[in-house]
Amino acid sequence: MTRRALVTGGSGALGTAICERLARDGCEVIVHANRNVEGARAVVERIAAAGGRASAVAFDVSDAEATRSALEGLLEAGEIQVLVNNAGIHDDAPFPGMTREQWTRVVDVSLHGFFNVTQPLAMPMARTRWGRIVSLSSVAVRVGNRGQANYVAAKAGIEAASRTLARELGSRGVTVNCVAPGIVDTGMADGVFDKESIQRLVPLQRAGTAAEVAAVVSFLASDAASYITGQVVPVDGGL
């Protein structure tokens, strides 16, 4: 049976790796983007060229009504049984100098976006008695990171909400987990961590890859992970 998987933020480097991995796993992948629609279409084309099935969709996860409308349209075409909440943004500043706009923008996309996408899909997923919800968090939730109080607060909220949602949906065969990457070579860490810093901070002495994160998402989205729920899985090289 082919399962449909929605990956928010699917046009970015990490999202692309997740989409391509899920497609190789046999899922029909819905690649989400907000502004980078062309990027999402390019991912769809790569998946199709490799023999997979995919489509692109565009909406702003921070806009509740636009998100609900888009999801209703997707559900009309069939069940969505795998959801990967990957959409998120950075807008860094030291907390004493952080503006309300910076705080709100990051929380709106990462945390409110988690609610806006997950809530409309939870009951339809539960009705099928099988589902996987995997959300991207960050190692920064555990260790902190200068200038990212807004980002870390949003990701911590996702982790806490996921633990509760795991308890609510477990009896319906739906698992809910988080993946917490550390320093990953996706371009977002450029100019932040040099090679020497990575070797000092990370026991494995290198940055991770998007493919390594996608492999863990793939596992949590599979039948093999049917007895894992309410967990946060670090992918951080021991950081």
Question: Which DSSP state fits 167?
Answer: H
* Residue in 151, 207, 217, 218 annotated catalytic: 151
Give the amino acid at 110: S
Indicate if 151 belongs to the active site: yes
33: DSSP letter: E
Instruction: Give dist(CA 179, CA 189) in Å, integer.
Output: 18
DSSP state, 105? H
Contact criterion met (CB below 8 Å) for 234 and 182 = yes
Q: Is 230 exposed, middle or buried (0-12, 13-18, 19+ CB in 10 A)?
A: middle
Catalytic center residues: 151
